[in-house]
């Protein structure tokens, strides 16, 4: 009987779609699913978790004060305490910015093997599927050990409802603040209410073809109309047009939206490493021989400075 603990990410009092996807993935091969919730439980969160197949909801009841609650060492310790107490032999979370900070700490404290950026896992056998070498190969990685930890690529698995009766448990152990990490500040970024890059169903990204920072507002405006997240190639980031948080690729975020619209991006292997698992890729480019044009679902051939305003008009 595999007992999976799933670290839940929530926002505005709701479980993120991407976390529900992790539950759906875990439900394929685990017998018993436990949700580990760190930032407070609402009625809506409880209902969502039961709707998607969670048997036990654990409220880790971290202190309200952000300096303690958001301290990654405090969070990792809370997860590990729950995993030990509840005999969770599989721990899963998102390969999101938070997960990338948290899961390696959890794995280290549990002395367990970890694989990040999984697109599939079998919790019975410990086999994980993950992209490696900038997306050049899809690797199957076999983890061995009593307890295994997996980071799942956001949006790799669409959530599917699977209602079960869920019970809630509150764990109130003292969450001591470690002396070696002090959280000085927390910046939620300036996404201005837009969906985050790793969560978004639609991403519209810009590259060198935008030519300068002012023109990048075309991408931001289109993103707002589409309720999409704006993204960028490394060139756009290196040029200082947008912050690094928007970079997609090998050294940026790995994203799997339903639709990825690449504007003025050539489609380097390093960029592809971050978005090749998008369900649909649309390329807007004036060079028909650009690599992205051969690796997309829809080509829009032409000057983005004509095409984007036209799309805005149509929207």
Q: Which residues are annotated as a binding site?
A: 208, 233-234, 247-251, 264-271, 285
235, 278, 282, 311: which one binds ligand FAD (CB under 6 A)? 235
Cα diameter, the chain: 61
Q: Are 108 and 77 in contact (CB under 8 A)?
A: no
Sketch the per residue contact string, 16 through 55, with ligand FAD: x for CB under 6 A, - otherwise.
----------------------------------------
81/250 with CB nearer ligand FAD: 250
Q: At closest approach, how far in Å is the CB of 289 from ligand FAD? A: 9
152/205 with CB nearer ligand FAD: 205
Q: Does 100 bind ligand FAD (CB under 6 A)?
A: no
β 137-142/127-132 pair status: antiparallel
Q: Does 250 bind ligand FAD (CB under 6 A)?
A: yes
Q: Does 126 bind ligand FAD (CB under 6 A)?
A: no
Name which of 150, 171, 58 is nearest 107 in CA terms: 150
17/239 with CB nearer ligand FAD: 239
- DSSP string for residues in 152-205: E-TTSS---------EEEE-----PPPTT-----------TTPPPTTT-SEEEE
Sketch the per residue contact string, 195 through 234, with ligand FAD: x for CB under 6 A, - otherwise.
------------xxx-----------------------xx
57/304 with CB nearer ligand FAD: 304
- DSSP string for residues in 264-309: S----HHHHHHHTT-SEEEEEES-TTSHHHHT-SEEEES-HHHHHH
Q: Does 299 bind ligand FAD (CB under 6 A)?
A: no
What secondary structure letter does DSSP report for 247? B
Name which of 17, 9, 86 is nearest 55 in CA terms: 86
**Window of 53-61, 118-126, 176-184, 258-266 that interacts with ligand FAD by CB under 6 A:** 258-266
Annotated binding site for FAD: 208, 233-234, 247-251, 264-271, 285
CA distance 34 to 171: 13
287, 288, 297, 310: which one binds ligand FAD (CB under 6 A)? 287
**Token pair listed for 146:** 């009593």
109, 221, 286, 299: which one binds ligand FAD (CB under 6 A)? 286
CA distance 35 to 37: 6
**Any bridge partners for residue 151, and if so which?**
93
Binding site for ligand FAD (CB under 6 A): 207-209, 233-235, 247-252, 264-266, 268, 270-271, 274, 284-287, 290, 303-305
């Amino acid at each position: 009987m595999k007992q999976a603990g799933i670290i839940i990410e929530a926002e505005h009092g709701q479980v993120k779609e991407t976390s529900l996807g992790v539950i759906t993935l875990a439900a394929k091969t685990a017998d018993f699913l436990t949700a580990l919730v760190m930032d407070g439980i609402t009625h809506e969160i409880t209902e969502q978790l039961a709707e998607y197949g969670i048997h036990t909801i654990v409220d880790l009841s971290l202190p309200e004060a952000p300096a303690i609650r958001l301290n990654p060492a405090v969070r990792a310790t809370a997860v590990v305490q729950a995993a030990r107490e509840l005999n969770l032999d599989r721990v899963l979370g998102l390969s999101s910015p938070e997960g990338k900070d948290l899961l390696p700490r959890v794995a280290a404290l549990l002395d367990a093997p970890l694989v990040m950026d999984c697109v599939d896992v079998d919790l019975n056998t410990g086999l994980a599927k993950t992209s490696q070498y900038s997306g050049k190969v899809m690797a199957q990685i076999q983890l061995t050990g009593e307890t295994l930890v997996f980071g799942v690529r956001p949006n790799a698995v669409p959530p599917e409802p699977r209602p079960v009766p869920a019970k809630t448990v509150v764990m109130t152990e003292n969450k001591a603040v470690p002396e070696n990490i002090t959280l000085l500040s927390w910046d939620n970024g300036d996404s201005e209410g837009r969906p985050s890059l790793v969560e978004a169903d639609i991403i519209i990204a810009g590259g060198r073809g935008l030519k300068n920072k002012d023109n990048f507002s075309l991408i931001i405006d289109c993103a707002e109309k589409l309720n999409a997240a704006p993204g960028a190639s490394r060139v756009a980031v290196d040029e200082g047009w947008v912050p690094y948080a928007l970079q997609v690729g090998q050294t940026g975020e790995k994203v799997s939206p339903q639709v990825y619209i690449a504007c003025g991006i050539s489609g380097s292997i390093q960029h592809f490493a971050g978005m090749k698992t998008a369900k649909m890729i649309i390329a807007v480019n004036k060079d028909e021989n650009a690599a992205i044009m051969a690796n997309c679902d829809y080509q829009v051939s032409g000057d983005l400075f004509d095409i984007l305003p036209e799309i805005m008009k149509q929207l």
